[in-house]
Structure 1
Amino acid sequence: MSLTLLFKTITRDVAKVGFCHHVQSLHTGCQLLAAEKALLMKLRKSTGYTFINCKKALEKFDNDIKQAETWLHEQAQKEGWSKANKLEGRKAKEGLIGLFIGEKAAVMVEVNCETDFVARNEKFQQLVKDVAFATMAHHQNKTQSKQGYVKSALSGEEVCKLSVDEGASLADRVALTIGRLGENMSIKRAVTLSVPAEWGVGSYVHGGVSGQTEVAMGRYGALVVFQGGNEGEQNTLGRKLGQHVVGEAPESLGNMDDLPCGESETRLLPQTFLGDPSRTVAQFLTGQQARVLDFVRFQCGEMTSEDSK
């Protein structure tokens, strides 16, 4: 082989090796980029934060996703408190009523935001769930040694002090959600109740959020405490009574023998029953061998006695 041909062969082989090495480096780089992208997408899905913030967190902690997630939550909470202070004067009249039924116990809460758009957001709905669960845990802990009918109303300020997982307060959770969604939010109120074994709790939510199971959510909610009812039909009875309370908005209970006073009737028992306009609520209950003992109705954004103070 001539020197010229030998030189060409060596040059070609070296070029081949260099090209293969370059391709291998590109392949390794692509694999690395794909792994980092998957990690980034996982962090973004689990936290809901922006692409830029997730990328910053992963870079800060050398792709340690747990440390990155913790840092993101801390930053969002700090930012949320800052935003909460800035947005405090903005009206939050939208939101959701959350209703959670336990074993012979129930809670109903109201959590507000500025727009219906945010009320439909999964992160805001998770906040409503957190408030309902924390309120129920507080109620059960407080009533462990009590028997009979126990009912308690809590202001938004009282609910905010309740703890959620890992000792954080609901106020912290509100700030975290404000940091994520950028709207003013507040916990307005809650009611809790427990009933004796022989009593029932009816419930109904109107304008409901689809897909919710444990905590029912909507713009209107009602709890109705009742006794009796035909065997096997108590759940249906409770729902019908809840629908009536939501639809007709009674202000007081009244008595079984009260006479109706026309269309402006605000007492529950003399009202025309929503499920059967030919009878009053009292007449419907008589037919069911039942009686209503108490009820609570929440309408999202409505004025309460606390608002006028």
Structure 2
Amino acid sequence: MALLRALRCGLGARAAGCPAGPLRPQPPQGRALRVGPRLASAASSKELLLKLRRKTGYSFVNCKKALETCGGDLQQAENWLHKQAQKEGWSKAAKLHGRKTKEGLIGLLQEGNTAVLVEVNCETDFVSKNLKFQQLVQQVALGTMLYCQNLKDQLCTYRKGFLNSSELSDLPTGPEREGSLKDQLALAIGKLGENMTLKRAAWVKAPAGFYVGSYVHGATQSPSLHNLVLGKYGALVVCETSGRTADLEAVGRRLGQHVVGMAPLSVGSLDDAPGGEAETKMLAQPYLLDPSITLGQFVRPQGLSVVDFVRFECGEGEDTAEAE
């Protein structure tokens, strides 16, 4: 009897114009159908994902995880990504610590009569050509430049200084950025998977009446790297000027080339005779671009005098340290 009643109810419903087929439960009146959150926000989620990817450079997988973790909040997702990357970077840095870093780059950054040279090392030449590694060198150069510019002193002559690895690591990344250069180092290690070191930096500040010549061997420059010049060798040459030099930039570059190529140990004086013990004195050395004269003979008519220099060679001292 129950079966007959059910069949009759079904036939009655069809007769009343109801669609054929099994009956489907209907939602209670007054309540709208709920659409799944993924369907409702698919377009906006994709847009947020693409925006986060473009802004941070992290993978789609990590960006998606960040947005899910932070409930779709773009700023929180960006902060979460940076923190996670830093944690992973420090973990990877600990695992890779001790691996030899003989490759890398010298970076030169100059603003007027303030110039810095930095050296950042990695394991392979392949990684040194990676933009992310070069951006790390840029951050180190900018951090060193900021440090130098913040030295509030009245200059009556030039000043020169050096920063070792630990001093570099503690420098802030910039006036408006949180964290230190060692944090940026950890991020780079996490992204590129090689051991890296912030080896050293040198800076020079000079007042009017001085000129800082500079040169980087095999230089490459990218507009995206804030006028940073990269290479394997670099030099800064401090000159006192008399105002009679026609082209300080060209002369400063040639002096830097000489320092890179001839690797002097001291400036020396114009009175030093060439050869013998004077072969490591800059002004007594044969001029790199014209060995028929000494560098002193090249400098004398230029209307300037060389007072100091800095020379960096990438990987310098690594073999000695390894032997010890």
> What residue is the counterpart of 1:21 in the other structure?
none
Contact in 2 for aligned 1:96/1:110 (Cα 8 Å): yes
Report whether the alignment pairs 1:44 with 2:57: no
> What residue is the counterpart of 1:222 in the other structure?
235
**How has the CA–CA distance of structure 1 residues 69 and 218 changed in structure 2, closer, same or farther, with 3 Å as cutoff?**
same
Instruction: Count residues in correspondence.
Output: 287
Contact in 1 for aligned 2:238/2:307 (Cα 8 Å): yes
> What residue is the counterpart of 1:129 in the other structure?
138
Q: Report the Cα distance in structure 2 between the residues aligned to 1:145 and 1:221, rounded to whole angstroms.
A: 28
CA displacement, residues 274-308 of structure 1 (integer Å, 9 cap, x when unaligned): 22232210000012122211111101111079948
CA displacement, residues 1-31 of structure 1 (integer Å, 9 cap, x when unaligned): xxxxxx8xx99xxxxxxxxxxxxx9xx95x9
Q: Report the Cα distance in structure 2 between the residues aligned to 1:231 and 1:53, rounded to whole angstroms.
A: 57
2:60 counterpart letter in structure 1:
F
Report whether the alignment pairs 1:193 with 2:193: no
**Stretches (4+) displaced over 6 A:** none
> What residue is the counterpart of 1:251 in the other structure?
265
**How has the CA–CA distance of structure 1 residues 34 and 93 changed in structure 2, closer, same or farther, with 3 Å as cutoff?**
farther
**How has the CA–CA distance of structure 1 residues 306 and 167 changed in structure 2, closer, same or farther, with 3 Å as cutoff?**
farther
Match of 2:314 among 294, 300, 304: 300
Contact in 1 for aligned 2:245/2:304 (Cα 8 Å): no
Contact in 2 for aligned 1:107/1:135 (Cα 8 Å): yes
Unaligned runs of 5+ in 1: 1-6, 12-24
Instruction: Provide the secondary structure at the position in 2 that maps to 1:37.
Output: helix
Unaligned runs of 5+ in 2: 1-16, 21-34
Match of 1:68 among 56, 77, 94: 77
The Cα of 1:83 is off from its aligned counterpart by: 1.1
Q: Any residues of structure 2 matched to 1:267-286 within 5 Å, and which?
A: 267-286=281-300
> Alignment identity in percent?
52
Q: Report the Cα distance in structure 2 between the residues aligned to 1:199 and 1:82, rounded to whole angstroms.
A: 46
> What residue is the counterpart of 2:126 in the other structure?
117
Q: Report the Cα distance in structure 2 between the residues aligned to 1:63 and 1:93, rounded to whole angstroms.
A: 43
TM-score calculated relative to the size of structure 2: 0.80
The Cα of 1:36 is off from its aligned counterpart by: 3.3
The Cα of 1:162 is off from its aligned counterpart by: 1.1
**How has the CA–CA distance of structure 1 residues 266 and 209 changed in structure 2, closer, same or farther, with 3 Å as cutoff?**
same
Contact in 2 for aligned 1:49/1:180 (Cα 8 Å): no
CA displacement, residues 101-125 of structure 1 (integer Å, 9 cap, x when unaligned): 1232111111111112221222211
Contact in 2 for aligned 1:149/1:194 (Cα 8 Å): yes
Contact in 1 for aligned 2:232/2:313 (Cα 8 Å): yes
**How has the CA–CA distance of structure 1 residues 159 and 289 changed in structure 2, closer, same or farther, with 3 Å as cutoff?**
same
Report whether the alignment pairs 1:157 with 2:171: no
2:200 counterpart letter in structure 1:
R
TM-score calculated relative to the size of structure 1: 0.83
Question: More displaced, 246-255 or 294-303?
Answer: 246-255
1:54 counterpart letter in structure 2:
C
Q: Report the Cα distance in structure 2 between the residues aligned to 1:220 and 1:48, rounded to whole angstroms.
A: 31
The Cα of 1:208 is off from its aligned counterpart by: 2.1
